[in-house]
Amino acid sequence: MDAEAKLALVADQMHLEPAEEVAPAPTSLRSPHAVAACGHSPAELRAAVEAGVVETLTNGNGNPGRSLEAKKNSLGIYNAAMPGGKRMPFLKTMLTSACERDCYYCPFRAGRDYRRATFKPDEMATVFHQMFKGGLAQGLFLSSGIAGGGMRTQDKLIAVAEILRRKFNYSGYLHLKIMPGAERDQVWRAMQFADRISINLEAPNAERLSSLAPRKVFFEELLRPLQWAEEIRQTQPAHRTYNGRWPSTVTQFVVGGAGESDLEILSTTAYLTRQLRLARSYFSAFSPVPDTPLENHAPENPWREHRLYQASFLFRDYGFDLEDMPFDAKGTLPLDVDPKLAWARANLAETPIEINRADRRDLLRVPGVGPKGADSIIAARRRGRLRDLRDLQKIGVLAARAAPFILIDGRQPVRQLALW
Ligand code: SF4
């Protein structure tokens, strides 16, 4: 099987694995291939042909654009939103789609009747480097099924990274997966070459994980490597990494596959964000895969995934704590309102925040005010007092959303809002 056929086989199931491309919007609002809507130019088309990834410049309809886009989709190239907001085409693939584990939700689980593909490390590095040189992909997210144990598989992933960095002098973006069972030294080596590493917890605690992936060991195999990554960042100099910076760390949860509550997921997320400085937790609403033990389990409401993203951003960027979350008695977030608005309705309706005096922490509690908006308000106040909702609107605040929860020079702007 040639490299292109292998990439296509793996790509068929890779949309189930969130990476940098995922926007925090309910998956029901995205088509399965919405993340793969790559823009491309005639120069890219020529590069694709030269790289041998696309055979001709046109399809049968004389429509070269659709031909290349479909080709990119089929190989696992997605238009990714990178940390910092930059967008770029990104190959998301696996070193092997064979796996000796049997996680209940996973399309790659052992024993499932599915055609597998395996790359050797130098083959994977070479094919990606060709795509990179041809302008088809500017970044790589590399995961793998487990074959021959987590340590052996991790060594192969690290080998791909080492070939790319040392042999091909690749200096682009690399997101490398850490395998369950990898050792501390392997995490350290992966961190030498990667811009981001990830270890998927899948569930918020050991008990819930046993319902999803009974052969994974929550603390020793999954949480411990996340702790090692932070210990390494804290205690060792970064000058031995390829670019002098330690990579960021992320994780993923399967949401709604194990009967877990939002409180359980967000308790673990808060710990990861505060104690281990994870850049981000990804949430993937459970969706049953045919021919797996959970194939008859109901799919999770994608709005739950969306609310969990919003709550996690409140921890990471807005200074909210777990106690601020509007859980009900069962530890569930409301689906019909975002958690920040729910908090504001309960806490700010009677005691609105004075926009001309509030500190940054309080400004961030106001719906419609994000980190940039809070900084803009503080900067604008140095130039003069803010007088009405138009002043807020001009500096990028969602004034109508903020209006019920603020005072401007001691006056509630809600009445003014009605005049708008
Ligand atoms: S170890 Fe990973 S690839 Fe293997 S079955 Fe579990 S989730 Fe799937």
- pLDDT value of position 355: 97
Asked if the model's pLDDT at residue 75 lies above 60, the reply is yes
In angstroms, what is the span from residue 173 Cα to ligand 1's centroid? 24
Provide the 3-class DSSP secondary structure of residue 406.
Answer: strand
263 shares its domain with 300: yes
- Summarize the confidence of residues 151-157 as an average pLDDT: 98
Are 161 and 279 within one domain?
A: yes
Average pLDDT, the chain: 87
**Residue from 77, 100, 71 nearest 19 by CA:** 77
Q: Quote the domain boundaries for residue 398.
A: 348-419
Task: Give, using CA atoms, the residue closest to atom 2 of ligand 1.
Answer: 145
Residue 100 CA to ligand 1 centre (angstroms) = 8
Please indicate, yes or no, whether residues 320 and 352 belong to a single structural domain of this protein.
no
- The predicted pLDDT at position 62 comes to 42
**Same domain? 275 vs 356:** no
102 part of a folded domain: yes
Pair (58, 92) in one structural domain: yes
Structure confidence by residue, pLDDT tens digits, 157-195: 999 999 999 999 999 999 999 999 999 999 999 999 999
Ligand 1 in contact with 177 (CB < 6 A)? no
Query: Using 50, 70 and 90 to split pLDDT, how confident is the model at 41?
Result: very low
Based on the domain organization, do 272 and 384 belong to the same domain? no
- Please report, for the domain that includes residue 154, its CATH number: 3.20.20.70
Q: Determine the residue of 93, 101, 178 to mutate for testing ligand 1's pocket, defined as the one with the most ligand atoms within 8 A of the Cβ atom.
A: 101
Helix (H, G, I), strand (E, B), or coil: what is residue 14?
helix
Q: Is residue 237 part of a domain?
A: yes
Q: Give me 259's structure tokens.
A: 């009967």
- Average pLDDT of the residues in 25-50: 36
Alpha carbon distances (Å) from 108 to 248, 252, 295, 332: 26, 17, 14, 31
What whole-number percentage of the chain has pLDDT above 90? 75
pLDDT attached to residue 56: 37
State residue 26's pLDDT score: 47
- Check whether residue 68 and residue 199 sit in a common domain: yes
Domain count along the chain: 2
108: Cβ below 6 Å to ligand 1? yes
> Within 10 Å of residue 321's Cβ, how many Cβ atoms?
10
Contact in structure between 283 and 313 (CB atoms under 8 Å): no
Q: Is residue 334 part of a domain?
A: no
Of 24 and 377, the one with more pLDDT: 377
Question: Does residue 37 have a pLDDT over 90?
Answer: no
Identify the pLDDT of residue 42. Answer: 37
Statement: residue 414 has pLDDT above 90: no
Helix (H, G, I), strand (E, B) or coil at 125: helix
Q: Are residues 247 and 359 in the same domain?
A: no
pLDDT at 114 over 90: no
Q: For residue 333, is it within any domain?
A: no
Average of pLDDT values for 242-256? 96
Q: How far apart are CA 253 and CA 213, in angstroms?
A: 12
Helix (H) or strand (E) holding 198: strand 196-198
Q: Check the CA dihedral 134-135-138-142 and report its sign.
A: negative
Provide Rg for the chain, Cα atoms.
Answer: 23
pLDDT at 408 over 90: yes
- Under DSSP, is residue 197 helix (H, G, I), strand (E, B) or coil? strand
What length does the chain have? 420
Predicted pLDDT at 341:
97
- Each residue's pLDDT tens digit, 282-295: 999 999 999 999 99
Nearest-CA neighbor of 343 among 310, 371, 317? 310
pLDDT in tens, 324-372: 999 999 999 999 999 999 999 999 989 999 999 999 999 999 999 999 9
Would you say residue 337 lies in a domain?
no
pLDDT of residue 18: 53
Comparing CA positions, the residue from 258, 273, 406, 270 lying closest to residue 327 is 270
| Pocket flag, ligand 1, residue 213 (CB < 6 Å) | yes
Condensed to tens digits (0 to 9), the pLDDT of residues 94-111 reads: 999 999 999 999 999 998
